[in-house]
């Protein structure tokens, strides 16, 4: 089956610190990979995505590279801001599974001034 | 801007009283999804429509129903809400083409349901 494992939070950082959230996956077939962000009281927003091996998704200073050899899609940001405080979800979809999203458990990130 | 809209953002209902949540989209996407999310856990897929075809998840309770009268709108009906149905309900859409390998789901802001 398909599954996503991401590091448990909460992750607490100071402003301007480097952020890494680990995400690994197992998939039957060739997955597309996503990071979604959820700010308090809001829905999920697509942060970035990658659809094939070695693709790098990037947005708002966040990056993640699709690593097929290590089945990983780690999220990174070089200098976080207080406004980056949110829950981050790693997810995959596989066409053979009807393109349904399989989510990781989410990682809460708290950035302190 | 093209978007996914959910109304209301907050809904209070009484135990056992039917409630309807609505979702609309201006993206002209042919797939619409409903998710339930509790306490910042991962969203749980309830069902989705691919055009007019309804696809229910195996573990979705019968208490949850959905309607899609046209491309733009989709409704979630909870026939007899219980206390355990209090949650955030998220609508999402995607564009699915013939043989398309990749789809991206776009989410609305959610409706938070409180059951008294």
Burial bucket for residue B28 (CB in 10 Å: 0-12, 13-18, 19+):
exposed
pLDDT tens digits for range B60-107: 999 999 999 999 999 999 999 999 999 999 999 999 877 667 789 999
- Give the model confidence (pLDDT) of A57-105 as tens digits: 999 999 999 999 999 999 999 999 999 999 999 999 998 778 899 999 9
Instruction: Specify the DSSP element, H or E, that contains A51.
Output: none
Query: Residues of A with CB below 8 A from B55's CB?
Result: 98
pLDDT (tens digit, 9 = 90+) per residue, B26-35? 999 999 999 9
Distance of CA A10 to the CA centre of its chain: 15
Rounded alpha-carbon distances, angstroms, from residue A37 to A61, A110, B10, B11: 13, 13, 20, 23
Minimal C-alpha gap between B42 and chain A (Å): 5
Q: Which residues pair with A12 in a beta bridge?
A: A110
More confident residue, A30 or B40: A30
A105:B42 CB<8 A: yes
Cβ separation of B107 and A93 shorter than 8 Å?
Answer: no
């Amino acid at each position: 089956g398909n599954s996503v494992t991401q590091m448990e939070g909460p992750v607490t950082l100071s402003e301007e610190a480097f952020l890494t959230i680990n995400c690994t996956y197992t998939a039957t077939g060739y997955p597309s990979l996503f990071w979604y962000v959820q700010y308090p009281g809001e829905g999920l927003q697509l942060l970035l995505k990658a659809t094939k091996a070695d693709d790098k998704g990037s947005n708002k200073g966040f990056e993640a590279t699709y690593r097929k050899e290590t089945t990983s899609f780690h999220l990174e940001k070089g200098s976080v801001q207080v406004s980056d405080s949110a829950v981050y979800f790693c997810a995959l979809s596989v066409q053979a599974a009807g393109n349904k999203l399989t989510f990781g458990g989410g990682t809460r990130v708290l950035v302190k001034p | 801007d093209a978007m996914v809209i959910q109304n209301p953002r907050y809904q209070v209902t009484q135990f056992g009283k039917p409630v309807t949540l609505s979702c609309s989209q201006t993206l002209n996407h042919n797939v619409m999804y409903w998710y339930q999310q509790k306490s910042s856990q991962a969203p749980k897929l309830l069902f989705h429509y691919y055009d007019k075809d309804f696809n229910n998840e195996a573990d979705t309770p019968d208490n949850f129903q959905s309607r899609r009268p046209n491309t733009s709108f989709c409704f979630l009906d909870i026939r007899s809400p219980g206390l355990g149905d209090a949650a955030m309900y998220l609508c999402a859409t995607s564009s699915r083409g013939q043989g398309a390998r990749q789809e991206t789901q776009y989410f609305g802001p959610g409706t938070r349901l409180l059951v008294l």
